[in-house]
Amino acid sequence: MSGEKNYGVPESVVKRLPRYYRFLRELLIEGKLRISSGELSEVMGVTASQIRQDLGYFGGFGQKGYGYNIKYLYTRISDILGVSAGYRAVVLGAGNLGRALASGAVFTQRGVELVGIFDASPEVIGTSVAGLIVMDVAELEEFLAACPVQIAVLTASREAAPGLVERLVSLGVRGIWNFTDRELSAADGRTTVHNICLGDSLMTLCYEIGQAEEEYHGKKTETELR
Amino acid sequence: MSGEKNYGVPESVVKRLPRYYRFLRELLIEGKLRISSGELSEVMGVTASQIRQDLGYFGGFGQKGYGYNIKYLYTRISDILGVSAGYRAVVLGAGNLGRALASGAVFTQRGVELVGIFDASPEVIGTSVAGLIVMDVAELEEFLAACPVQIAVLTASREAAPGLVERLVSLGVRGIWNFTDRELSAADGRTTVHNICLGDSLMTLCYEIGQAEEEYHGKKTETELR
């Protein structure tokens, strides 16, 4: 699908596309029509040559002096990333994180339609989140039979997670966005599971704080020594 | 700090350490004392040679036949990542995401102590989250003067975010974990800002779904042709 549309863009470049997508989106909202690799480099904090190299794969619209056609670039990148594929999603787990994701703009801004949110706890079932009524996860099969989705967002407990993945795979869900603190994979080898471990990012931050402090104090000593 | 302790471990390896940390943690909880690179490779889905190469930097405890001393490895990795640095954190924004992060185990499991949560909205101020009372963000300066922290978690609105970063930097916060959908950086060049854009990960998932479907149907056609 999006693969046929990826114009042979290398994975390394594709990985950077969501960020281009975000910045181009901002520029469109600001009403900008064209941008030079130099300007874009300023905004994104990436070298202009990197930008020319990345966007070069789309060809044709980096005209010297004119810069890039933002709308065109945005549309092509949307195509490649599957924004125009019209995927639908359900959220499993209506706790704080599930509610945060459902209430935010993360789905709509990426062309994904959130069609249902589920939970197992009687206190939560029936409450409303982002205009949706939280359904009993026991009704998942029935719901997905009537309204198939490609994406499931997992914010359930680490205990419930593996069982849910099995059910989702058997229900034909193609992508699982897993926020439980347990790494999961799909047995069928067809379903993509994205394990989001926020803790890893916190640890990297702690590490970088340590590195930055050391560098800072290193610099300080150097200056003092002069 | 953690830098002095990083035994010259390359950044590329350090990036993989939080994941080792998680799996070694699980193994310790299960009461395991030693593990071979082969077993660890099974659990983590990484090649045994990659594991031997990564853990080789810590030296000494990959004894042939005996495997790795899990506790020792866990401790060394904790040191490098700054888990033992005893960082403290505040959360700015007590909405769903702020509550989700504050209520989860993400901080305690990484040795970070959450000491305060702030919001600007009168409806939220005074409510309790994870045993903490939500404070008025106007009291941020006073609070951090009495209780300095190294880390601030930003789940505020994209409008409020840049102003908050300025305040945090002037208050001596060293690391900002930014969940607002706006990329931020610190002017002082000393404070580390980690921009978490969940939408990017959702887009990559959409892309991979497309790729996997294409591959699947490709394979299917091949089989049909046989």
**pLDDT at residue A1 above 50?**
no
Model confidence, pTM: 0.88
Taking the C-alpha atoms of residue A82 and residue A6, their distance in angstroms, rounded to an integer, is 10
With an 8 Å Cβ cutoff, is A198 touching chain B? yes
pLDDT band at B177 (very low <50, low <70, confident <90, very high): very high
B4, B45, B209 ranked by CB distance to A214: nearest: B4
Question: What single-letter amino acid sits at B53?
Answer: Q
Cα torsion B123, B120, B141, B176: sign: positive
Work out the average pLDDT over B134-151. 97
Token readout for B29 is 């909880």
Angle at A131 between CA A129 and CA A135, to 5 degrees: 55
Tell me whether residues A87 and B181 touch, CB distance under 8 A.
no
A71-119 pLDDT, tens digit each = 999 999 998 888 888 999 999 999 999 999 999 889 998 999 999 999 9
Which range is least confidently modeled, B23-27, B128-132, B215-219? B215-219
Where along chain B do its domains lie?
Answer: 11-81, 88-195
* pLDDT at residue number B215: 82
Angle at A91 between CA A88 and CA A96, to 5 degrees: 145
Angle at B111 between CA B108 and CA B116, to 5 degrees: 60
Residues in chain A, overall count = 226
Q: What is the CATH number of domain B11-81?
A: 1.10.10.10
B54-65 pLDDT, tens digit each = 988 876 555 566
**pLDDT at residue A219 above 80?**
no
With an 8 Å Cβ cutoff, is B175 touching chain A? yes
Taking the C-alpha atoms of residue A158 and residue B59, their distance in angstroms, rounded to an integer, is 33
B70-121 pLDDT, tens digit each = 999 999 999 888 888 899 999 999 999 999 999 988 999 899 999 999 999 9
Q: How deeply is B125 buried, as exposed, middle or buried, from its count of CB atoms within 10 A (0-12, 13-18, 19+)?
A: middle
Domain A88-195 is in which class? Answer: alpha beta
Cα A5–chain centre separation = 19
For residue B168, the distance in angstroms to the closest alpha carbon of chain A comes to 14
A120-167 pLDDT, tens digit each = 999 999 999 999 999 999 999 999 999 999 999 999 998 999 999 999
Cα torsion A18, A19, A21, A26: sign: positive
With an 8 Å Cβ cutoff, is A190 touching chain B? yes
DSSP notation for A75-125? HHHHHHHTGGG--EEEEE--SHHHHHHHHSSTTGGGTPEEEEEEES-TTTT
> What is the ipTM, given to two decimal places?
0.88
With an 8 Å Cβ cutoff, is B107 touching chain A? yes
In a mutational test of the B interface, the residue from A119, A134, A176, A206 whose CB has the highest number of chain B CBs within 10 Å is A206
Tell me whether residues B196 and A197 touch, CB distance under 8 A.
no
3-state secondary structure of B188: coil
With an 8 Å Cβ cutoff, is B78 touching chain A? no
